[in-house]
Amino acid sequence: MSRNIHSRLFSFIVYLLIYSTLAVKVNTEEETKDLIMVFILCRHGDRSPVHTFPTDPFRKLWKMGYGQLTAYGAKQHHELGQMIRKRYSTLIPEVYHKDEVLFRSSGTERTLMSANNFIRGLYQLEKESTNHLPPVFSRLVNEDHLLKMSSKCPKFKRLFNNLMNSSAVFQKAYSLQDFFSYLERMTGYTFPKDRSSPENFYPAWRLCDPITIWVEQGLPSIPKWVTNDVYQKCASLLDFKHYIRFSEPHLTRLRGGPLAGHLVDLFRERINRELKTKHQNNHPDENHHSSEGLHRRFVAYFAHDSTLAALMSHLGVYNGLEVPGVLVGSFNQLDASSRELGRISHRRHWLLVALYSSRIGRSKNS
């Protein structure tokens, strides 16, 4: 494959993410008859809080434990699977085949459960069905540098600690001293004695996780001290967490960069296969399933909001605000006369991006 095609592939990912950030809404239905591949990257569904604190009134509410997919989160992914099936019914096979479809998840329960619920929706499987679910591949959390942004990386930890001790972060911590004190007083959670220290961000982030979830899930009898102003400040702090973690190129090369490179390889392999078929004068491949992975029509990855934030930051298109629920990229048959066209639609909080920009003409160096 020529370097030009490789660079254009990378541009496709950038276009996909730029369109998702702009959240442009297009009502035109997508023509899918010429698609050769669809890729999606999405975060897990609605979950329970990861953290708690001494005065938490909802500690006994989460029957499945902390950080787990909720019933609504399962419903979200089941509906997403149905939506993807309807949108790409001509591309995604009705019956799972290991060489045509791939599901991968980070190694957390909520992402694995999200993947399984998505699969049930995609293949129209009922919970009582005796059909086997297709496999969802994953790696150990500490070793997953593609999908889990908290995997072990001493260099990232060192660089991030240096950034957290920068003057800009000190100034932000100084401006939030009163809010840090308020959170400590209301929650009983201990903060550092020096309220202007960036170390205060860590307990604040832990506390803002359950606080924002209470409000967003509309729980009854939320403590009166959780005002709209408190919610807004907590939401802003969590946005800042994503922003600061992936705000520098030397950070995103370690978090987000590996996934971007992986996606380029994924798309390149699929397009190389299509180019090879074109060179064979469109004769059917006698060993259609012989080259594992090169015939994949649909690839779905299930991860976290931090995964999407890291990838978008690495590509320079993350606005530091709310991360979209899902990104969808699609590739058409190769056609030199094609022009790039991005299309976006919304369904609830899910953000779908279909990118019709890969009708790549064959290069002499392909």
CATH code of the domain in which 307 resides: 3.40.50.1240
The residue type at 202: Y
Among the candidates 222, 247, 272, a domain finishes at: 247
Joined together, the tokens standing for residue 124 give 């129209």
Say yes or no: 124 and 164 in one domain: no
Q: Which helix (H) or strand (E) holds 312?
A: helix 305-314
CA 193 from centroid of its chain's CA atoms? 36
pLDDT above 70 covers a percentage of the chain that reads 72
In a domain, 334, yes or no: yes
DSSP code of residue 46: S
Whether 266 shows a pLDDT value over 80: the answer reads: yes
pLDDT at 149 over 60: yes
Alpha-carbon distance values, 207 to 50, 59, 69, 234 (Å)? 10, 13, 19, 8
Q: Mark whether 125 and 196 lie in a shared domain.
A: no
pLDDT for residue 25: 36
User: Which residues form the domain of 203?
Assistant: 154-247
pLDDT digits (tens, 9 = 90+) for 199-209: 999 999 999 99
Read off the pLDDT of residues 329-343 as tens digits, 9 standing for 90 and up: 655 554 433 433 333
Query: Token pair for residue 342?
Result: 């991005």
Look up residue 43 and give its two tokens. Answer: 């975060």
Whether residue 186 is found in the same domain as residue 93: no
Question: Do residue 28 and residue 129 come from a single domain?
Answer: yes
Separation CA 153–CA 182 (nearest Å): 34
User: Given a cut of 60, is residue 24 above it in pLDDT?
Assistant: no
**pLDDT by residue (tens digit) across 28-82?**
344 556 677 888 888 899 999 999 999 999 999 999 999 999 999 999 999 999 9
* pTM given for the model: 0.81
Looking at the chain, the number of H-run helices and the number of E-run strands are: 11, 6
